[in-house]
Chains A and B, each alone.
Chain A
């Protein structure tokens, strides 16, 4: 069965610090997709990145970067030079094929506090 673990419940950093949010997943499929979403205080989840299981290339988008390692079943998210606006709950998610389509499960989320 699929599972997503975000062991860090809350992280608090000071502005301009780098921070890494951990995500470990379990799946028996060879084809799957990984995602990160951001949930700011307003509540609406915002899609950040999608990765398929055949693409282990790391990705950088501005201050955000993602490290996908199949060997350790991890898909970690790093924010460089954090800003107060980065304060939010971040969810890692896994989507894998099952009868009828793809099913996505979410980790419990990591709440990030960035203090000025």
Chain B
């Protein structure tokens, strides 16, 4: 069966510090991968998605970046965090074949607080 891991679970970082969040998927190959951010009490905002190694599409221009160095690894980074980067970050995957429109499976999330 497939599982998705995210770490760390919680993170408190000062403004201006770097960020690296990691997401890995097990039990599947060539998944589509996604990073979402959820502000407190709000819906999900799609940040990045990837359909393959090295292929990253950005939905919202900001000081975050994403990379996919391996098929089942997705990394969210920032060189300098802003207060507005605080939130709950969720990684998700879907099947990467067929006509699409598949359901997404989410990781446990990382709660980031920028102080």
B-binding residues in A (CB < 8 A): 31-33, 35, 37, 42-47, 50, 52, 91, 95-97, 100-109
Whether B101 lies near A32 (C-beta < 8 A) is yes
Interface positions of B from 73 to 100, Cβ below 8 Å from A: 88, 90, 92, 100
Known contacts A42-B108, A44-B109; decide if A101 and B103 are in contact (CB<8 Å).
no
Secondary structure dominating the interface of A: strand
Residues of A within 8 A of B42 (CB): 108-109
Whether A105 lies near B107 (C-beta < 8 A) is no
Whether A47 lies near B104 (C-beta < 8 A) is yes
Known contacts A44-B109, A100-B51; decide if A95 and B101 are in contact (CB<8 Å).
yes
Whether A95 lies near B108 (C-beta < 8 A) is no
Residues of B within 8 A of A43 (CB): 88, 90, 108-109, 111
Whether A101 lies near B46 (C-beta < 8 A) is no
Residues of B within 8 A of A108 (CB): 42-43
B15 interfacial by beta-carbon distance below 8 Å:
no
Residues of A within 8 A of B109 (CB): 43-44
Whether A50 lies near B51 (C-beta < 8 A) is no
Whether B44 lies near A35 (C-beta < 8 A) is no
